[in-house]
Structure 1
Amino acid sequence: MRLALVLAGRYPDLRGSQVLVQQLADGIRGRGHAVHLVTYGAVASGRPGPRAGRIVRDLGLVVRLWRTVRREAIDLIHAHNYEAAIASLVVGRATGRPVVYHGHNALAEELPLYFRARRARGLAHRLGRLLDAHVPRRADFCIAVTEELGEILRRRGVAARDLTCIAPAAAPCDAAAHGPRVGSEALVCYAGNLDGYQNLGFLLRSFARVRARVPAARLVLVTHAAPGALRRAVGPGVEIVRAASYDEVRARLDAADVAVSPRAERYGFPMKLLNYMAAGKAIVASAGSAKGLRDGVTGRIVPDGDEVAFAAAVVELLSDAAARARLGTAARHAVEDPRAWDGVLDRIERVYRNVLAARSAASTDPEASAPDGLGVAAE
């Protein structure tokens, strides 16, 4: 197969979506398919969220995708998230190529988090609901990264037979051996972007409670992004590190005693969790982002929004090296089996083949329905 994987974002980059798309491209290419990544390219990073400048980049993405489809005789377009999906639907309709939509988030829930004013947040929510209801269902097939996202897409118009939920798994490069823990005391690490949905204000407030009980505790926020206004919000014991490479992220994570995921948004899949687990870290996560964790087995899960419980879980782990080792070892074992990643690639390949088979059948018999097995949601 000749495939175009499309992402409306800067590339290369250390954001979770970019990492996932790169890993999928490498994995699918390794199975003998021709894979072409279509992105914004190595543009300057900017403020996250909606802004006028993205419109120009999105128009450029349409042109770039059109040229790739024509030049490379692409069979199928695999679009990640909304702007890429809109560009892909435009090009797909114009060129007769099928489109698979890969949803990483529910826009009605995420979009308001980029705004402060109440009215702006309300308008963003309504716009997000509109896009949730109209973009995914126009693709030939949909993949959701979580069951929660799959359910919301079904409620907003995607037919159950046209949707499957495929959670990410640790790619072999993620599960590679991490370095030994470098000597540090009471070091807590957050590794990820600084967007509003990450709930970093909650994390900073929780960490202030940690410091009240463990004065030597330190929190490092490792990110690819410019800290902006967040730098003014950090308190004592907090450091923001702008990493230039994934190796630097890994080194900072290896040095930590506890890794944290404060995000409460439930519909996406925080790729940082796979990184934390592969690194063998003791993890504290809010319930909304605790995808794949088992409380007390592979991490500690606390209720969304509960600063006291979050801080208490961090303090408990900082004071108990044996518990950190037990949770970290179990977390690593949970993600190091390569069969999980192979299973992700198997299911995505199956979606591709079924979509192409359905498109071929429809071209020869307009009354033909999708073949059995296209709706793989029950797998």
Structure 2
Amino acid sequence: MRILYLHQHFSTPGGATATRSFAMARALAARGHEVTLACGGYEGAETGLAGPFHRGRREGSVDAFRVVEFAVPCGNRQGLGERAGAFLRYAGRAAGLALSGRFDLALASSTPLSVALPALLARRLRALPFIFEIRDPWPELPRAMGLGSPGLWWAMDRLADAACRQARAVIALSEGMAETARAHGARLVEVLPNGCDLHLFGPHVPPWRPGCIPPDAVLATYAGAHGPANGLHQLVEAAARVRDPRLHLLLVGEGAEKRRLQAEAAGLRNLHFLDPLPKLRLAGLLAGSQIGLQCLAPVPAFAEWTAPNKLMDYLAAGLPVVANSPGRAARLLEDGPCGLVTPPGDAPGLAAALDALAADPARRAALGRAARHQAEQRWDRRLLADRFCTLVEAAA
């Protein structure tokens, strides 16, 4: 089967962003399918291509599949208007590829929601069936955060309606996201969560930590976006409140809020910032950390509508997790248990949880063992990739 995989933010493990589409494309290729993955240039991503662009695109073989990269830069530091323009430019280039190539099936992975546009156009003009994957529900999340306008949300609702109703199947990363797909009219919805890369992360990885961290520090690491949705000002306040002098917090990543966070943290000796790290380097950092940090802004919709990759990385690394996320993430951490959960928006609670784990290495070790066990038993990405392939083949 010839599959066109549309994911604007694709990255290999050489980059600093999520690698789900890399793992799924590789699994499809291993099953004998001919996969073409079309992406843009996402900040922090590494597509595996290094040659020059010709007429705004370059292509080549990555692992066992073909990658077509369009020269459409996009990143969290861009303003909303600039990002919207990047979304539409990618959709236009991807539509041209979908209409000119010979494919049996398209797989459109959102976000952004605009990735559905080329899939819908190819379905209308070429009768190309497609599968729609929801990795973040739009417009539900932007609307819950107050980002955008009623007119924009209305337009995105109509696009989500069309994508969910016309797709052969919808793949959602959580049951909460699956409910949004059903509300948009999807008939066949399958839940396939994010998974753990047990080869890349784990106790077998040599530990590493940056020179700014004292050798005897208890290191709590957050690795992810620094945007409004992440609410990282809570970690800045928590760092100011912790009492254990050995405890240090490290925030790794990039985003629109990073400069403001650094200004807020001025004078705090136990809070540090790093630029995004390639996944291979991040694996060493997590091996050299004692706690994983999961933080989100106090938005009620986040309880069931998010599925953070960083949480899977922490579990795979065998780290106890401190999180302020209710709902799905809280249930996951309570199973084992493999972490501590504090109420959303409660920076003092975050500080108290961090102090409690810093003072109790035996408890940290027990929670970390439970985290790795859960990663191996429930979230092994290889098993989830097999399920993904089966769903794609059945839908086709």
**TM-score normalised to structure 2 length:** 0.77
Matched, 1:75 2:104: yes
Q: Matches of residues 264-343 of structure 1 in structure 2 within 5 Å?
A: 265-266=302-303, 267-286=305-324, 287-288=326-327, 289-290=329-330, 292-294=332-334, 297-337=337-377, 340-343=380-383
Q: Is the 8 A contact 1:4 1:69 kept in 2?
A: no
In the other structure, the counterpart of 2:285 is 252
Distance 1:130 1:285, change over 3 A: farther
Match of 1:196 among 217, 228, 234: 228
In the other structure, the counterpart of 2:191 is 165
Give the gaps of 5 or more residues in structure 1: 357-379
Q: Matches of residues 1-379 of structure 1 in structure 2 within 5 Å?
A: 1-9=1-9, 11=11, 13-16=15-18, 19-41=19-41, 44-46=73-75, 47=77, 50-52=80-82, 54-55=84-85, 58-67=88-97, 70-71=100-101, 73-81=102-110, 82-112=113-143, 120=148, 129-159=157-187, 162-175=188-201, 177-180=204-207, 183-210=215-242, 213-225=243-255, 227-235=258-266, 236=268, 237-263=270-296, 265-266=302-303, 267-286=305-324, 287-288=326-327, 289-290=329-330, 292-294=332-334, 297-337=337-377, 340-356=380-396
Distance 1:303 1:338, change over 3 A: closer
What are the Cα deviations for residues 147-201 of structure 1, in whole angstroms up to 9, with x where unaligned?
Answer: 1111222233323xx1111112213434453224764412211001112212212
Distance in 2 (alpha carbons) for counterparts of 1:184 and 1:126: 53
The CA deviation at 1:319 is: 0.7
Aligned-residue sequence identity (percent) comes to 24
Q: Is the 8 A contact 2:74 2:86 kept in 1?
A: no
Q: Which amino acid aligns with 2:251?
A: L
289-298 or 195-204: bigger deviation:
289-298
Distance 1:250 1:313, change over 3 A: same
Q: Which amino acid aligns with 2:240?
A: A
Q: Is the 8 A contact 2:170 2:181 kept in 1?
A: no
The CA deviation at 1:326 is: 0.7
What are the Cα deviations for residues 14-40 of structure 1, in whole angstroms up to 9, with x where unaligned?
Answer: 223xx1111211222222222211111
Q: Is the 8 A contact 1:209 1:311 kept in 2?
A: yes
The CA deviation at 1:65 is: 4.8
Q: Is the 8 A contact 1:171 1:338 kept in 2?
A: no
User: Secondary structure at the residue paired with 2:220?
Assistant: strand
The CA deviation at 1:74 is: 1.7
Distance in 2 (alpha carbons) for counterparts of 1:33 and 1:139: 20
Q: Is the 8 A contact 1:188 1:218 kept in 2?
A: yes
Distance 1:48 1:330, change over 3 A: farther
What are the Cα deviations for residues 250-291 of structure 1, in whole angstroms up to 9, with x where unaligned?
Answer: 232222221110125231211111111111111111224446
Distance 1:68 1:132, change over 3 A: closer
Distance 1:205 1:126, change over 3 A: farther
Distance in 1 (alpha carbons) for counterparts of 2:322 and 2:197: 22
Q: Which amino acid aligns with 2:291?
A: V
What are the Cα deviations for residues 227-258 of structure 1, in whole angstroms up to 9, with x where unaligned?
Answer: 34332232412211003422222232222221
Distance in 1 (alpha carbons) for counterparts of 2:292 and 2:83: 34
User: Secondary structure at the residue paired with 2:222?
Assistant: strand
User: Secondary structure at the residue paired with 2:332?
Assistant: coil
Q: Is the 8 A contact 1:6 1:79 kept in 2?
A: yes
Distance in 2 (alpha carbons) for counterparts of 1:318 and 1:52: 42
Distance in 2 (alpha carbons) for counterparts of 1:49 and 1:290: 31
Distance 1:327 1:172, change over 3 A: closer
Distance in 2 (alpha carbons) for counterparts of 1:188 and 1:32: 42
What are the Cα deviations for residues 115-173 of structure 1, in whole angstroms up to 9, with x where unaligned?
Answer: 67xxx5666655655554443333221011001111222233323xx111111221343
Distance in 2 (alpha carbons) for counterparts of 1:296 and 1:351: 29
Distance in 2 (alpha carbons) for counterparts of 1:39 and 1:163: 25
Q: Is the 8 A contact 2:227 2:255 kept in 1?
A: no
Distance in 1 (alpha carbons) for counterparts of 2:387 and 2:394: 11
